[in-house]
Structure formats: structure tokens, C-alpha cells
Chains A and B, each alone.
Chain A
Amino acid sequence: MHKLLKDSPGEKIMLLGNEAIARGAVEAGVAFATTYPGTPSSEVSLNLFQMSRESDLYFEYSTNEKVALEVAAAAANSGLRTFCMMKHVGLNVAADPLMTLAYIGVTAGMVILTADDPAMFSSQNEQDNRYYAKFGHFPMFEPSCVAEAKDMIKEAFELSETLKQPVILRTTTRINHSNAFVTFGDIKERQTNGRFERNPMRCVTVPAVARRLHVKLLERMDKAAGMSEASAFNFVTGQGVWGVVANGVSYHYALDAVKDLGIESKVKILRPGFSNPMPKDKIKDFLSGCEKVLVIEEGEPFMEEAIKAFAQEAGLVIPIQGKTDTLFTSLGEFHPAMVRENIAAFFGIDFTPAPKIDTSDIPEIANRPPNLCSGCSHRATFYAIKKAAQGMDVIHPSDIGCYTLGFMPPLSIGDFVICMGGSVSTSCGFSKATDQKVVSVIGDSTFFHSGITGLVNAVFNRHNFTLVILENGITAMTGHQPHPGVDMELMGMDGYGRVNIENLVKALGVEHVSVIKPFKVKKSIETLKEAMAFDGVSVVISQEPCILWAKSIKLKKPRAFEVTDKCTDHKECINGIACPSFYIEEGRVKIDADTCVGCALCAQICPENAIRPLK
């Protein structure tokens, strides 16, 4: 049995934040869950997916976040407790249905998770999604630790059901990817059989209906404001005339700092956990006993601006600061020492941090950037693209996935990356705006996510570029989740369909479609050249499973290669493809047999035929 399905209230167990969130949803009786995978949210969905295989919980990996939210919206309006999960930038994709779902609301509890990524450990920006809650009128919860995340999601389902309004659970990477002890609670029975009651005056948002719904939405948020005032998630700890307001993980940094500085008797801390709508009266009451207030929040000054406005309403003229040139920044992640130093500085506490180690005389250490894996098929495809495009002035729009790493030399495939699906649509733009050749790349999962719409646009508007779809048979970057092109039977799972990319692309009206096996290097280069010579939209589908995936489902058995004595040191292998299994020893290229998987890419490009399977 899945560890998070265990009906063992009181059991204490160490969980990842994302596991705790999944468990909280199960304890809340969640019956329906949808997502598109994205770090740092991925393990929430992974665990629900696994649990759905052994229970009556419905779970799906949808083609993108907009689809996931739309599927979820229907379930939550059919009486099922519904959970929709995504990373912060995923909510941008879902923003369209999100803003109108706020008007329609739900008939059963619905929680939307946005996993924000301050410091961009694995993201293309560090947007602060608290503004979506304010923008769209959603109640929002923000946990400060792993155990609280589990409790909050249960409360979020209850609140959603009371208000008939989806609730946003906003986490950050340090909640999603922290581990701590969690105590299991009772599991509420799942209601898995829903029914939709027809109600066009609530559910069909023609203008006449939507105008009325907007009024109702504001009324619901008024009610939410009252509940925020009374919520136990908005609490004050300590007593004193110095005020600190801190949300999320920053609350714990503040707690530690106040203790470290020995100012417990002077400081009181307000922790908003039910943070939209902000508890206005509670905050005014907090401010009225303070001489000065420091606001500690990663990201944008979301709380700071609200608190300053509340102080103005209350006629309070006290220093309230957060983001300034000398205190906190909107950039990146906070950490305990930063919070301690700024608390000391703001309240005028003498504090000398322990002397740091002098690192000026440390020997130089080469960086260790992430790299395409040994035997990754993208390397072969990129090599072939490069050879096919040799001598041409080419732009390579790229997309979001493992293959984004191909932007680094020597492959250097990747000139413009903004969002999922963006490689196709930007190719449209580059091909019209310039005389340069455009050869773009996109992964298979990403193609289904939102590449298709760009391709439809390209066909209609007669754009001129070559799109290479990297079909590796899985969503690799986020940890091998399925997508509509995956053969689920390889995982021993039945009950799924499968969309054939080649047929799909042809059906969209692309006139020049070809398929390559990228480890057949010469043939791939020829096919790519033909596609690039075509005047109009051409698509090349490069088919080869993700090597990590193929190994894990035993589709491939690694077989190492070696460099033989025939090598005359051209170094075409290293300079052309830079596989991490190469190394140089005493001036000679060697292959690390422990990591080589035998893709034979290097063997094919070696001018002397010097690379052979290890005997």
C-alpha cells in the first residue's frame, strides 16, 4: 500500500513537503486531481498518481495547466473535492480559465496549488503568484513549514466548500522540497461519484450572467475577509513594541533570529497564513501597539504595501519597512543570517556575526554545470542539426525541458527561450521578421502542452521554418511523467490512449514531415537538410527514448565503448558532441565505462573509426 494512503492516525513519519501536501489532500477526501508536471510541484502529483493506481482517487496528467484547470473546474462543479497542481509559471498558462472560474465558483471544495520558485532553482523566472490571488479574488493560504502544509490544505478544502470558491495554496521551493516529521490525521471518506446540476445563470458566463457573478464574487470575498480575521492561521507570537510581519519560510527565519539576538521580550511577530484577503483589523490591532514594524517576505512587497495602506487608514505614523536599498530585496531567496542581520539593523541591535572563513586564497575550482546525460538522444539530434545547418545563418528557438541545456557549446542549439510552447510561435515571428533560416526544437511533452497551437498558426500563416520535435517518449526533465504520446503499456499500465505525433502533425496540414532516428547520424543529417530546404513549414520528428527512462524500464542495456589505438587525436568527439563520458588522460581521449551507455554517436563521427564497443 502507498505510504500516504495508510489509515493510521497518529503515526509520525518523515515526509517531503510535497508528500505532506498530497497526504493532506487525501486526508481532506480529495477525489479528483489534475496537473501538468513542473518543479517544484512535481512530487505532489507523482504521489497522487501512484495512489490513484491503487484507490478510487481519479488523477490525470493533463496536456497543460490550462487543460488541467478546466478539467478540474468541471469536476469541482459536479460535487467532487478537486485538487489542481502546478508550478508558478504554469498558473500563467491557466490564467484564462482561472479568472473566470473565480466568478463561477465551485459546488465542492477545490484547491489550486501554485509552487513558486524564488531563486529560480529550476525555473525561467521568479514571479510572485500571491498577486494571482489578489488579481482573481481567491482566498489564499501560505504554509510556513511541511507539517503546516498538510494541515492547511485540509482547511483550504473546507474553506472552499464554505465559500463555494476555489482556494489557492501558495508554496515556495523551500516548503515543497523540505523534509520534516508529520503526524497523520484521519482520512475523510472520498466522494467519487459526482453529478452536475444544470444552472446556466451561474455557469454560462455570457456578459449578463457574468456581471451578476462579479457582484457575488465580491460578496464572497467580503465573507472571506471576515474569516481571515478569525483564522487561526493568522496569529501573533510574542509581545513587545517592535513588530515583525513574516510569511512562509521567512517566519521561521524570523523566529530563530529573534531568539539568537536575545530580543524575545521586545518583539512580537505576526504570521499571515491566510494571506488573501489580508486580515485588515488584526493587522491594524497589531500595528497599534508597535513603535516600528519590519515586513519580511520573499518576492514582491505584497504584504508590505497592504500593511502600509492599513496603517494609513488607522492614522498610524510609524516606520514600516521591508524592501529598501539597505534591508530586504525582491531578488532570490532569503536565508536565516540575512533575516537576522536585517532585524538587528532595523531595530538597532548590536550584533556581530561570527567571522566568515576567508575564501580569497582557495584554489580555483572548475564549475559543474548541468549537462545532457551520457547517451542522451538530444545530443545526437543537435549534432545532426548543427551539421545540416553548417555554413548557414540560423536562429534556433528552443523550449522548456532537458534539451534547453543544448544552448551550451559545443552544440549551441538554443537562441531564444521564454516559455513552454514558445519555440514554435517565436519561430513564426523570427521567420517573418528576418531573412535568417529558422530551425527550432521542442520536446514531445512540450509539443502537446502548447506547441501544437503555434504549429497550427504556422500552417495557416504560411510561415517558413523547420521544427524538430524531440520525441523521447516521456516528460524527462521533471522526472518521467507520462504525456499523450507515451506508450503507457511500457509501464504496465492499461486504460490509456496514445496520440501519434506524426499523424497529428500531418493532420494539422504540415506538408513536409519526416522521421529520424538520431543515432543514425548520416541519415539524420540528410533528412534534416531536405526538411530545411523545403519552402514552408517542415517538421522533423526525432524518435529515441530518454536514456534514463529506457534504462529504468529495462528497455536498454548499457554497453560501453572505448577509444582504440587507431585514434589520431582529432578530438571531433569532444569538440563536436561533448558527451560527459569523455575525459582526457595524458593527452588522450578516454571513455568512462561506468557512465557510457553505448549510444554509438561518437563512434559514428570519429574520422578514424577509432571508437569501438568495449570487448
Chain B
Amino acid sequence: MKPLRMIIVAVGGQGNLLASKVLGEAALIEGVEVRMSEIHGMAQRGGVVESSIIFGDASSSIISDGEADILLGFEPAETLRAIARCSANTKVITNTATLPPFTVGIGKGTYPEVDEIKRVLKEKTAGLVAIDAMALAREAGSPMSVNIVLLGALIQTGALGFSKENVKAAIKRRIKPALVEMNLNAFDLGFEAAAAGTV
């Protein structure tokens, strides 16, 4: 497979690393080579967590500026912050539910308007899918399933080329049995929301 480079950005605690592992497991099922790299350590303390995933025939495990084929953002401001990783050919999928940094919460920093974030992302990249993954996660049964809602949206866009069934099989392998049903539901809600178009 031609190399396909994907960046996931999130705030610590949103489940970025688990989402990456589900995709890695899906790649194993699909028979696609994959290398991933993650940055944690400070993650639990409210910082940014970033994963790079490289599918197919390349040998590196990180992604330089301008070279991501897909950007998956779990938080809109973080999606925008990662735009330097994109080119005009990058497909962007983002959550629209915000988690303002503490500095913004106490009025000492600016959080851009979500509509403005969407406009910029849409203008500068090859396409944007924006969904309120938090609302869908709550609908599925837990705010913790935001990550899987977004995987559903990612798979619907076809940008990755993985089948829905294989990703669901990967969810079953990687998520605790008691939470599998809820997460499969979350996946479907994300998938449908992306199919319905952008928010």
C-alpha cells in the first residue's frame, strides 16, 4: 500500500492512544503494515497528546510538517493548532465540542470561534468533516467514547480505506468486553453523522 500518513491530536484523557491502538489492530486485520508513534508523559496533566500513524509502504514512524494525509482532531482548537502538519491535499476530520485550555477558562487567553476554525480548515485543506462527537458519545452512553465516535467518522470518509467491519472487529479485540457494545454504538453514530455531511 502507498504510504498514508495520519496525525491524531487530542487533549490528555480523550482516548487518543486507545483510538490509535484500535486502528493499529484494524491494520493487522486488513494486512496493512503500520508504524505508530506517540507522545505522552505530560499527557495526564491536561496537555496535548499527539499520535502519528503511518500505514503502508514507508519506513519512518513520525510525520513532518505538511506531510499528513489525514488529520483527525479530537478537539477543535487542537485540530487547528496541528494545521501545519497538513497540505492542500489533507483530509481533516474534527470534533466540534470544545475543551478550552485552563487559561481560556479563566479569561486569560483566546479560544477561536468554532465556525472560524471550521472555515479555516475547510479553506486550506482538501476537505473537512466536522461533527459534535461529544453529543454523540453521550448519546451512545458515555462521554468517554468520543474517540470511537471519531473513528466511525474517519472510516465513513473512506480516507483510510479500511472496512467498517474490520474496524469493528478491532474494537472488539482492543476494548474491555463490558464496554464493547456501547463503543460499537458510538462507532455507528460517528459513521452516520459523517455520512450525513458536516455539521
Contacts and interface: CB of A to CB of B under 8 A. Distances in A.
User: Does B associate with A?
Assistant: yes
Given A14-B25, A371-B102, A582-B105, A178 B61 contact: yes
The 4 closest A-B pairs by CB, nearest first: A366-B109, A337-B64, A122-B41, A583-B105
B132 interface: no
B61 A145 contact: yes
Contacts of A574: 106
B120 A356 contact: no
Given A121-B39, A405-B45, A179 B101 contact: no
A357 B36 contact: no
Interface in A208-264: 249, 252-253, 255-256
A596 B105 CA distance: 14
B38 A177 contact: yes
- Interface of A: prevailing SS: loop
Contacts of B77: 365-366, 368
A523 interface: no
Given A249-B61, A580-B46, A363 B112 contact: yes
Interface in B117-146: 117, 120, 124-125, 143
Interface of B: 11-12, 20-21, 24-25, 28, 33-42, 44-48, 58-67, 77-78, 80-81, 83-84, 86-88, 100-113, 116-117, 120, 124-125, 143
Given A174-B62, A337-B64, A548-B44, 6 more contacts: A145-B61, A364-B112, A368-B78, A369-B103, A370-B42, A584-B105
Given A145-B61, A335-B62, A368 B106 contact: no
B54 to A, nearest CB: 9
Given A366-B109, A580-B102, A252 B47 contact: no
Contacts of A146: 35
A39 B43 CA distance: 12
Contacts of B25: 14
A582 B102 CA distance: 8
Nearest to B53: A179
Nearest to B37: A178
A367 B84 contact: no
A359 B82 CA distance: 10
A362 interface: yes
Interface string A400-418: 0010010000000000000
Central interface residue in B60, B87, B105, B117, by most chain A CB within 10 Å: B60
A180 B34 contact: yes
Contacts, number: 164
A583 B20 CA distance: 31
Nearest to B116: A363
A368 B80 CA distance: 13
Given A14-B21, A174-B37, A362-B80, A357 B42 contact: no
Contacts of A181: 28, 33-34
Contact of B101 (A336, A364, A367, A402): A367
Interface in A338-388: 338, 353-359, 361-373
Nearest to A43: B40
A256 B59 contact: yes
A597 to B, nearest CB: 14
A363 B41 contact: no
Contacts of B100: 366, 583
Contact of B64 (A40, A335, A594): A335
A357 B35 contact: no
A178 B80 CA distance: 24
A370 B39 CA distance: 13
A555 to B, nearest CB: 17
A372 B81 CA distance: 23
Contacts of B108: 366
B105 A353 contact: no
B67 A365 contact: no
27 contacts: A14-B25, A39-B40, A121-B41, A174-B37, A174-B62, A179-B24, A179-B34, A179-B37, A179-B38, A180-B61, A253-B60, A335-B64, A336-B63, A336-B67, A355-B66, A357-B66, A357-B83, A363-B110, A364-B110, A365-B112, A366-B104, A366-B110, A367-B101, A367-B109, A368-B101, A370-B42, A584-B105
